[in-house]
Structure 1
Amino acid sequence: MHTTTSQPARAAAARTAVRWRQRLAAWCAGASALLAAPWASAEVPAIFRDADLALGEQLIRQHRCAQCHADKVGGDGSAIYRPQGRINTAGLLRGMVEQCNSALNLQMWPEEVTAVAAVLNRDHYRFKD
């Protein structure tokens, strides 16, 4: 008996395969730079020490985070980053990225959420251990 896979199931499988290929490509591209970077220093919160910054940068571009933030707060969107505001720890920053991931159905894996949060920490928040 011949079984067929439904079109939605095939589309879901294709999206998963694309995501895995993207993750692998991003990891390969950023692995050597990440290993040599001073990011692994003790001044980085433990939650971000193994984060793939290249992947985080790619995901920020891919999901158009800056555009969404600009739509919410105006300007270039950077006003959304308030280090003295309610996001005052690395864990809360990662939690906020997870909230965006869930609310917008971005379907990012946990390590991808951490990568995005690590980039935001590096560029805007600068939380230490």
Structure 2
Amino acid sequence: MKKLLCVALLAWTSGVFAQQHPLFKDADLKAGEKLIAENQCNECHTRRVGGDGSSIYNPKGRINTAGALRGMVEYCNTELNLGFFPEDTNAVAAVLNKQHYKFR
């Protein structure tokens, strides 16, 4: 019985920690990762902010909601003429949320 309870608890906590913000619930994370790699997003961020580029993810509180995150990805899409469809923007934002922001 204890073993079953431990397995159930582990499964439940894994699900809790793996949750995304509802805005990203249907996002294709693999597609988002692919788009980030193909469009060299990390390299661009490194050129803009230096270091490993990760400091771009905490710009003095500008990105403080999941909607603002998706809006910033759309801004990059527009400014760089990347040609993302809305589901692409959402996929990239979902990956960034999972890796950096963790909005729930």
Greater relative CO (CA pairs within 8 A, separation 6+): 2
* Equivalences for residues 96-115 of structure 1 within 5 A: 96-115=72-91
Q: Quote the Cα distance in structure 1 between the aligned partners of 2:57 and 2:15.
A: 23
Residues 83 and 124 of structure 1 are in contact (CA less than 8 Å); yes or no, is this contact kept in structure 2?
A: no
Q: Quote the Cα distance in structure 2 between the aligned partners of 1:86 and 1:101.
A: 18
Once superposed, what is the RMSD of the aligned Cα atoms? 1.9
Q: Quote the Cα distance in structure 2 between the aligned partners of 1:57 and 1:98.
A: 16
Tell me which amino acid in the other structure corresponds to 2:55: A
Work out whether 1:50 is the aligned partner of 2:45.
no
Percent identity over the alignment? 57
What are the Cα deviations for residues 48-95 of structure 1, in whole angstroms up to 9, with x where unaligned?
000000000000000000000000000110010117611000000000
Unaligned 5+ segments in structure 1 are 1-36
Which residue is 1:21 aligned to?
Answer: none
Normalization by structure 1: what TM-score? 0.65
* Equivalences for residues 117-128 of structure 1 within 5 A: 117-128=93-104
Runs of at least 4 residues off by over 4 Å: none
Q: Please tell me whether Structure 1 or Structure 2 has the larger radius of gyration of its CA atoms.
A: 1
Aligned length: 90
Unaligned 5+ segments in structure 2 are 1-13
